[in-house]
Amino acid sequence: MKKNLLSIAILVLAVGIVGVNLWNANQTTSEQKDQQAPVSESTSAEKNEEVVDEEESIPGVDLNEVKEGNPAPDFTLKNLDGEYVKLSDYQGKKVILNLWATWCPPCKAEMPHMQNFYEKNKDNGIEIVAVNLTNMDNGMSAIEDFAEEYGLTFDIPLDEKGTVGMQYQAFTIPTSYMIDSKGIIRKKIVGPMDEKMMEDLTSAMD
């Protein structure tokens, strides 16, 4: 009987030792995980910061440059007549800077309004500079046919490399900027305008 009790006692002791060892092992693993968590969170934060930086910056483009209240960045492009056009050449006049393409339905809807507005106001110190996003359009013949079909007589500079479209954030077209006579951006409009809207916006500028 004593031998049986001794055997049971030894067995219980062995089980206890195994249990303590397992508990210690779990505690060690848990502590290691706790120590690693801040490192993991820090790494995640660094990755998030990298993503934000990539989204807020485009190589060669300052997304803050064309905000309302800032001077409109100057550019030089050839127009449909093969002549060089500079935005700064129009300083002293109110300018509607429009960015568009021939395949864009809202651009097609806007163009008759723009032409009518231009004909009424070209002698009143207001200009329209309609930059065609040539690098993503359907070729020169399509642009020339479009200008002829709609009877466009304002300047149409050709953005063949896409630099002006990117600089002026023409991610949705048409995109237009209202620029006052001092060359300052007063309003950005995404989407088509009608003649009344153009009249109201230009009247609100110096």
Position 65 scores a pLDDT of 86
For residue 97, give both structure tokens: 């800077």
In this structure, is residue 197 part of a structural domain? Answer: yes
Give the structural domain span for 169: 76-203
pLDDT at residue 165 greater than cutoff 70 = yes
Same domain, yes or no, for 100 and 172? yes
In this structure, is residue 62 part of a structural domain? Answer: no
pTM listed for this prediction = 0.71
pLDDT at residue 6 greater than cutoff 60 = no
Same domain, yes or no, for 175 and 91? yes
Higher-confidence residue of 7 and 86: namely: 86
CB 179 within 8 A of CB 70: no
| Euclidean distance between CA atoms 143 and 73, whole angstroms | 25
Summarize pLDDT for 57-83 with one digit per residue, the tens: 555 566 678 999 999 999 999 999 999
Summarize pLDDT for 174-206 with one digit per residue, the tens: 999 999 999 999 999 999 999 999 999 999 998
Give how many domains the chain has, as a whole number: 2
